[in-house]
Amino acid sequence: IGVGLVGFGLFFLLFGMLLYFDSVLLAFGNILFLSGLVFIIGFKRTFTFFFQRPKMKGTSFFLGGVIIVLMRWPLLGMLLEAYGFISLFR
């Protein structure tokens, strides 16, 4: 279930970007991606991954970008998410 949710989340994110940053598709993709991540590695491990002390900057940018996308500012939100994603996984 988790891999399917992550896959659909990435599909909706890509499709939302192809349709000129459609905020509904991007928001749906973010929600599916994060819920799929929770299903794959579990709630506790997801929480500990995102809220480690050295990764707080990346987490704040990533989750802030998700919130900005949900508030229907998709371009700014995706830029914040991209920076947070790069900062989290480097």
pLDDT string in tens for the chain (90-residue length): 999 999 999 999 999 999 999 999 999 999 999 999 999 999 999 999 999 999 999 999 999 999 999 999 999 999 999 999 999 988
For residue 65, the model assigns a pLDDT of 96
Separation of alpha carbons 41 and 24, rounded Å: 26
Domain boundaries of the chain, sorted by first residue: 1-51, 52-89
Count of residues for the chain?
90
| pTM for this prediction | 0.89
For residue 86, the model assigns a pLDDT of 96
